[in-house]
């Protein structure tokens, strides 16, 4: 499942970028979007994950995010998250660029996590922009109001909204300068995030996809491993651990 080429490249890599999507959190019990039974099979993104939906029916959108927060706040990082974090034992610099809003990469211990689509634990006022990151409102059933009277909304990027400039700029930098880019657990259909593995390819990186299904990235990647994040990432770190000369012998 893991090629010798990939392991050799990993042992010589200076920077590895791990680009992730909802599939990485699936094994933590957090629903994906486009798989059967995923979030979008019950809801239409245009009905919920966009500003017009929020302005038209703020309470409905707030309740949808409350339901998702309930799952996320009770979810734990899985083997895949933890293996991605422990890559840092073997590679000088690992950058996690995630489309996920669940915060599980940070909880798993990854030191650089770039959140392209925001974070479901955070909120701000739609009217004045004031931040409302106090955790107690995460359990409010009725949509809370800001002191300015505006509606408070989750700090996530909705369709039609721009990604945070600092996040996408740093993500593009990490895609351009990395030796290896893993694309893990994403259907590779949401832009501009889906362009990052192609940017890495154009910049000479070795691109490896990890997904039980094919995606639009599959035919471009150097390797596409038809398996789950929780199977592949721990196997990679196990092989790296086996290869690492015990420190007392390397003196
Ligand atoms: C923007 C909100 C300026 C937060 C989300 C260029 C071309 C075409 C379209 C566009 C374009 N530029 C902009 C667009 C429009 C749009 C877009 O991309 N539409 C697509 C759908 C056609 N993009 C935007 O609007 C972006 N904004 O560009 O602004 C603009 C605007 C309009 C027009 C031009 C410019 C904003 C995009 C962000 C939208 N926000 N969510 C939330 O509520 O979560 S999207 C949503 O999809 C999530 O954020 C998620 O991160 C993202 C991607 O989904 P995935 O993570 O890939 O999840 P998915 O379920 O799809 O796939 C899971 C995969 O995992 C599957 O392949 C499965 O096989 C695999 N898997 C399952 N289990 C496992 C596994 N893999 C490994 N291990 C497992 N165990």
pLDDT value for 155: 97
Answer yes or no: are the C-beta atoms of 105 and 128 closer than 8 Å.
no
The residues, ordered by sequence, that sit 6+ positions from 22 with a Cβ below 8 Å of its Cβ are 30, 31, 32, 33, 38, 99, 100, 185, 186
| Integer angstrom CA distances of residue 87 from 56, 151, 202 | 44, 41, 24
Least Cα distance to 15 among 242, 173, 250 occurs for: 173
- Ligand 1 center from residue 242 Cα (angstroms): 36
Place of tokens 């949401």: 190
CA of 193 to the centre of ligand 1 (A): 7
Q: Domain limits of the chain?
A: 1-30+78-117+163-251, 31-74+123-156
Q: What is the pLDDT of residue 246?
A: 53
Q: What is the reported pLDDT for 138?
A: 85
Measured by CA distance, the residue closest to atom 33 of ligand 1 is 160
Annotate 190-207 with b (16+ C-beta within 10 A) or e (fewer). beebbebbbbbbeeebbb
154 lines ligand 1 (CB under 6 A): no
Tens of pLDDT, residues 64-104: 999 899 999 999 999 999 999 999 999 999 999 999 999 99
**Which superfamily does 1-30+78-117+163-251 belong to?**
TPP-binding domain (3.40.50.1220)
Nearest CA to ligand 1 atom 66: 187
Measured in whole angstroms, the distance separating CA 47 from the mean position of its chain's CA atoms is 23
What is the b/e burial string over 121-134, where b = at least 16 CB atoms within 10 angstroms of the residue's CB? bbbbbeeeeeebee
Evaluated on CA atoms 73, 194, 88, 84, the torsion sign reads positive
Give 188 Cα–ligand 1 centroid separation in angstroms. 7
Catalytically active residues are: 117
Rounded Cα distance, 183 and 181, in Å: 6
Its pTM stands at 0.95
For ligand 1, atom 2, the nearest C-alpha belongs to 158
Q: What residue's CA is closest to ligand 1, atom 71?
A: 23
Residues of the chain predicted below pLDDT 70 = 36-42, 45-46, 245-251
Nearest to 236, CA basis, from 76, 8, 20 = 8
Which atom of ligand 1 approaches the CA of 162 most closely? Answer: 29
- Establish whether residue 212 lines the binding site of ligand 1, counting it when its CB lies within 6 angstroms of any ligand atom: yes
Fold of 31-74+123-156: SIR2/SIRT2 'Small Domain' (3.30.1600)
């Amino acid at each position: 499942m893991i090629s010798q080429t990939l392991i050799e490249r990993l042992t010589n890599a200076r920077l590895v970028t791990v680009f992730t999507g909802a599939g990485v959190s699936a094994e933590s019990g957090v629903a994906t979007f486009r798989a059967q039974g995923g979030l979008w099979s019950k809801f239409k993104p245009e009905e919920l994950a966009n500003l017009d939906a929020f302005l038209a029916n703020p309470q409905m959108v707030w309740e949808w995010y409350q339901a998702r927060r309930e799952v996320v706040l009770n979810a734990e990082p899985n083997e895949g998250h933890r293996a991605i974090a422990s890559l840092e034992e073997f590679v000088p610099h690992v950058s996690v660029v995630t489309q996920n809003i669940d915060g599980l990469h940070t909880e798993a211990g990854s030191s650089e996590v770039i959140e392209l689509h925001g974070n479901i634990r955070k909120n701000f006022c739609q009217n004045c922009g004031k931040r409302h990151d106090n955790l107690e409102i995460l359990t409010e059933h009725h949509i809370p109001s800001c002191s300015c009277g505006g509606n408070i909304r989750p700090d996530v990027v909705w369709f039609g909204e721009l990604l945070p400039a600092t996040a996408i700029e740093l993500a593009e930098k990490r895609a351009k300068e990395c030796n290896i880019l893993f694309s893990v657990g994403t259907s590779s259909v949401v832009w501009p995030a889906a362009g990052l593995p192609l940017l890495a390819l154009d910049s000479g990186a070795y691109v490896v996809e990890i997904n039980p299904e094919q995606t639009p990235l599959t035919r471009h990647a150097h390797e596409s491993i038809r398996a789950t994040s929780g199977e592949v990432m721990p196997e990679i770190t196990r092989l790296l651990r086996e290869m690492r000369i015990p420190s007392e012998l390397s003196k």
